[in-house]
Amino acid sequence: MASKQKKVISLISSMVLTGTALIGCSTQGTITAPASGGTPKVEGQGQKSADAKSPGGKLFDQPMTLKEMLPDGASQPIVTDSPSIQEIFKKTNVKIELQPSPDTNYGEKVQTLLATNNIPEIIRIPKTNFLDAAPLAKAGMFVAVTDHLDVAPNFKKVMEENPEIKKLMVDGKLYGFPVMGKWKVRYGQLPLIRDDLLKKLNLQAPTTFEELYQVLKKFKEAYPETYPITFRNGIANFLPYMAYTLGSGYPTYYDPDVNGGKYVYGPAHSADFKPVLTYLNKLYSEKLLDPDYAVNTGQTWQEKLSSGKSLFYYDNNTFGLTFTKALQAKDPQAKFEQIRILKNGKGQTRNYEYPKDWWHMFAISSKVKDPKAVVKFMDWMYSDEGVMATNFGIEGEHYKMDNGKPVVLDSVLQKFNDKKDPFHAMQSALGTGLLAFATYVDEKPLIAISPPELDKWSKLMDQDKGFFQNIMDPPFNKEEMDKLKQLKTQVDTLVQQEMDKFIMGTRKLSEYDDFAKQLESKGALEIEKIYNDANARLK
């Protein structure tokens, strides 16, 4: 079921993640709405600016309602009538009816809605790949945003300032509003370790993966009931960044260290990828790696690291603050600490850093009565006023302006400081930020409510030169997309079926060279060529 869900999300993402960054401008009509609400209409050709407010100071003269579906996760539960949603209505006259769906089966829910052509007016699509975008976008399920840039001055400016959006093109159209970073703290999937246990066992922080292995062995000897390292959400989540830092990548990825930068199908290159599996297999076979790593959800992963069942992780470093807080409730000395990125067996020190933008998409159903009006509303989300409402809440109640900059009120910080996860608890209650209804994310609240370690860890990243912000895939033409769909279906499926077997030892690593050749025969190198040809054409 998990693979089916991933395939569904991939397919749907494709529809909306591909589009063009066409830049255009024209005059805009005045906007009105029926007294009963509903989507307002654009009538006539007025001379007001595209982001002009109505006489009442709101974006629209009369109320309108839009249903919006988004994933609902355990770390930040959705509050449907949050202060942010209330503030959006106050500023725009748009009432957002949130339709949260559990993130554990979000893809299946989306699949059902698409199959019945019954999606809400706005739907959030997770970023994955977008190989199937062209035919599905052309089918007309979503509004082409670039057909209505005359009422989207804020988003148009964002597009001009972020040329990477041009990679979301298919036949000159953009089919969604991307989730981007207005301001973002520097962080990523990084190594964090129980620093208190290092000191207790008189161990030095590891600087290489071999040293990490030795430290984890010492941890296991001292605490045999633990599984020192654990992962969450299976190979689809952790292999891309773990394979990269170990000297390869998964599956198709851009490697800046290969021939000046090129796309590579990692598992097809045994010399580089087999050591990744060998290392993980060694951890697994010696019971250093959590035997449930393949089925751990985000919640079970957090529970293990918050309770001392696991002692090291390589993932989003900000979680370390939450784990430390939970551990110190029982042991004041317990502490996760970020360490420098580790040197791999090839002598490389390299690591992904979270990009500035997330590229999830909010897509508009083509069934809306007035696409231009809904585009105008979504454009407001990128305005200064929209950023404040969707990232900080209500001015005077949750934040204040200080020299033109928003500052979270102390009263708000104090209200959530004693929570298990203060930041996400605050975001959940206010309905703000990345995991809520926001398109232009400002992470200053994260810094405001977090312990000083977060800023310290961000600065620690400055000491290493091996960080790389992964890039979006290049746009493909129809022939390339059709071919990639065919090739990736057969190659990716085979890879997904076998990776855990090699890690767990149910399939011998001595067979991997032949397996890599099998991937090559099924088209792995053809996938590389299509990616690199498309990228060269873009350049």
Instruction: List, in order, residues 6 or more apart from 465 with CB less than 8 Å away.
Output: 349
CB 371 within 8 A of CB 37: no
CB atoms within 10 A of CB 139: 10
Residue 85 has pLDDT above 70, yes or no: yes
Query: Confidence class of residue 277 from pLDDT cuts 50, 70 and 90?
Result: very high
Residue 172's pLDDT band (cuts 50, 70, 90): confident
The burial of 394, by beta-carbon neighbours within 10 Å (0-12 exposed, 13-18 middle, 19 or more buried), is given as: middle
- Position 17 scores a pLDDT of 37
Single-letter amino acid, residue 315: D
Tokens representing residue 82 in the block:
């949050």
What SS3 state is found at 138?
Answer: helix
Say if residue 170's pLDDT is above 80: no
pLDDT tens column, 281-304 = 999 999 999 999 999 999 999 999
Q: Which residues share a beta bridge with 363?
A: 123
> From CA 486, how far away is CA 523, in angstroms rounded?
9
Hey, what are 229's tokens? 């390292």
Other beta carbons within 10 Å of 259: 9
Query: Both tokens of residue 360?
Result: 């999830």
Give the distance, in angstroms, between the CA of residue 355 and the centroid of all CA atoms in the same chain. Answer: 9
Q: What's the pLDDT tens digit per position in 100-158? A: 999 888 877 877 777 777 889 999 987 753 554 455 666 788 999 999 999 999 999 99
- Summarised one tens digit per residue, pLDDT across range 220-266 is 999 999 999 999 999 999 999 999 999 999 999 999 999 999 999 99
pTM of the model: 0.74
Local structure of 189: helix, strand or coil:
strand
Q: 403 CB contacts (<8 Å, ≥6 apart)?
A: none
* Residue 305 bridge partners (DSSP): none
At residue 101, φ and ψ (nearest 5 deg) are -130, 135
Question: For residue 464, is pLDDT > 80?
Answer: yes
Q: By C-alpha distance, which of 321, 425, 352, 421 is closest to 187?
A: 352
pLDDT > 60? residue 5? no
Determine which of 2-16, 242-256, 416-430 has the lowest per-residue pLDDT on average.
2-16
Local confidence band at 55 (pLDDT 50, 70, 90 cut-offs): low
Instruction: Find the mean pLDDT for residues 335-341.
Output: 98
Query: Rounded to an integer, what distance in angstroms lies between the CA atom of residue 431 and that of residue 161?
Result: 27
At 474 the pLDDT is 87
Side chain identity at residue 421, one-letter code: D
Q: Which pLDDT belongs to residue 136? A: 60
The DSSP letter of residue 365 is B
What's the per-residue H, E or C state across 56-91? Answer: CCCCCCCCEEEEEEEEECCCCCCCCCCHHHHHHHHH
Give 229's DSSP letter. Answer: B
pLDDT over threshold 50, residue 16: no
Longest dimension (CA), the chain: 76
Q: What is the DSSP string of 239-282?
A: HHHHHHHTT--SSEEEETTSTTSEEEEGGG-HHHHHHHHHHHHH
The residues with which 64 forms a beta bridge, in sequence order, are 94
For residue 373, the surrounding DSSP H or E stretch is: helix 371-380
For residues 293-307, one letter each, b for 16 or more C-beta atoms within 10 angstroms of the residue's C-beta and e for the rest, the string is bbebebeebbebbbe
* pLDDT tens digits for range 493-539: 999 999 999 999 999 999 999 999 999 999 999 999 999 999 998 87
Please report, rounded to a whole number, the percentage of residues in the chain having pLDDT higher than 90.
75
Contacts of 255 (CB under 8 A, 6+ apart): 244, 249, 261, 262, 263, 264
Buried b / exposed e over 434-457, threshold 16 CB at 10 Å, is: bbbbbbbbbbbbbebbbeebbeeb
Q: Cβ(342)–Cβ(90) under 8 Å?
A: no
- In contact, 190 and 317? CB cutoff 8 Å: yes
Half-sphere exposure of 370 (CA within 13 A, CB side): 23
**In a 3-state reduction of DSSP, which class is residue 11?**
helix
* 361 DSSP assignment: E
Q: What is the mean pLDDT of residues 313-334?
A: 95
Q: What are phi and psi of 419, to 5 degrees?
A: -75, 160
> How many whole angstroms separate alpha carbon 422 and alpha carbon 320?
13
- CA-nearest of 362, 376, 359, 358 to 437 is 362
Please give the Cα distance from 171 to 185 (Å, whole number): 35
Helix (H), strand (E) counts: the chain:
20, 18
Q: CA 437 to CA 234: how far, in whole Å?
A: 27
CA distances, 208 to each of 87, 212, 373 (Å): 49, 6, 55
Q: Are 380 and 51 in contact (CB under 8 A)?
A: yes
Q: Regarding predicted confidence, which is higher, 47 or 140?
A: 140
CA atoms of 524 and 458, how far apart (whole Å):
37
